[in-house]
Amino acid sequence: MKQTHQITLASSTVVSGIGVHSGDSVKMALHPADADHGIVFLRTNLPNGVDRLIDARHMNVAATELCTVVGDRNTGAVATIEHLMATLSGLGVDNVLVEIDGPELPIVDGSAAPFVDAIDAVGLVATEAPRRALRIRRPVRVDAGKAFAELTPHDAPLRLDVEIDFADSAIGRQRWVHESHPRAFRRDIARARTFGFMRDVEHLWKAGFALGASLDNTVALSEDGVVNPEGLRFPDEFVRHKLLDAIGDLALAGHPILGAYRSYCGGHRLNYAVLEALFSDRANYELVELAPRREHAASNVGAPAFGNSLR
């Protein structure tokens, strides 16, 4: 697959299920899209009967509490997009039309693995259009108490360094560093599931969240540890899932990122905030066109090559 060219699906594929927060049944179809289309949601089955297109971009984020929501909740929005966005970004997919007939993406098993499987079933195709990326030129950082998130220059596909620190002994302090590559995403990140604490359930229900959560789609934690009878998929599944969320949220930049991301005790709100900080000043980044590797230049072996800057 030409990673220097834009990629889309070979054909359409469908994933159905329920929303983890809404509890509503939903059908989602992923369709191939033309070059430069980007990731766009087509929200159907709205009360007014009018379908709505929503670009999966940071400027369309409507909420970041417990999940990432794009669109306008009064005229049409889509919630819990982060696992699908992480899948598309992790597999290097640039252009897809996501048709969905409900307010929230299906949670399936709580990870990105079912979306990976659905895409693998139809395959990917490269277009003739060149791929463009956002290269970080200056560090940007956001802080929230002890938590922080930052993007820094790093002339290679996005490197993520995510650390969490929970008082609960079942989680504790965990860290994972991920170098963006489809193989690494499949192996290390895609299967990590969302998680939550049993003590928070009643509060979440009253607030309208977690109405579709169950042991089939969430790693649940009690005072005694993990409740799920099958246990964890990874000893550090919690931080891997936080990293998965970060990949999905950062995909709202609209292009692959050439840079390094670091977060401590982060989440959807900080992931979104660092994108806002990035795009607040045009000097923070530049748009570059990816070019084939210059394998004859020994100093560049293993590093991406760039075409002209597209400022």
In the chain, which stretches have pLDDT less than 70?
Answer: 1-2, 291-311
Please, which residues have CB within 8 angstroms of residue 145's CB and are 6 or more apart in sequence?
none
For residue 253, what is the DSSP state? G
Residue written as token pair 């802080």: 143
Q: What is the pLDDT of residue 73?
A: 83
- The answer to whether the CB of 241 falls within 8 A of the CB of 195 is yes
- Binding-site members for Zn(2+) are 83, 241, 245
What residue spans in the chain does CATH classification 3.30.230.20 cover? 5-129
Distance separating alpha carbons of residues 173 and 167, to the nearest angstrom: 8
Q: Which fold has domain 5-129?
A: Ribosomal Protein S5; domain 2 (3.30.230)
Stretch(es) of the chain classified as CATH 3.30.1700.10: 132-309
Bridge partners, residue 290, by sequence: 306
Which positions ≥6 away from 167 have C-beta within 8 Å?
Answer: none
* C-alpha to C-alpha distance for 197 and 200, rounded to whole angstroms: 6
| Contact predicate 49/69, CB 8 Å | no
Q: Are strands 96-100 and 219-222 parallel, antiparallel or unpaired?
A: unpaired
What's the chain's Rg over C-alpha atoms?
A: 19
Q: What CA–CA distance (Å, rounded) separates 18 from 41? A: 17
Res 2: pLDDT: 59
Helix (H) or strand (E) holding 118: helix 113-122
3-state secondary structure of 299: helix
Domain 132-309 has CATH 3.90.480.20: no
Matching residue, tokens 């929970």: 166
Name 50's Cβ contacts closer than 8 Å, sequence gap at least 6. none
Q: State the Cα–Cα distance between residues 77 and 291, nearest whole angstrom.
A: 36
Residue of 34, 47, 42, 43 whose CA lies nearest to 7: 34
- Dig out the tokens for 217 from the structure: 């789609």
| Average pLDDT of every residue of the chain | 92
Query: Helix 82-90 crosses helix 237-250 at what angle (to 10 degrees)?
Result: 80
User: What positions carry a catalytic annotation?
Assistant: 268
| Kind of pairing between the strands at 39-43 and 96-100 | parallel
The residue whose two tokens read 């292009």 is 255
**Vertex 32, ends 186 and 84: CA angle to 5°?**
40
CA–CA gap between residue 70 and residue 226 (Å, rounded): 32
Rounded-to-integer distance, Cα 136 and Cα 4, Å? 18
Q: Which residues are annotated as a binding site?
A: 83, 241, 245
pLDDT value, residue 201? 85
pLDDT for 203: 86
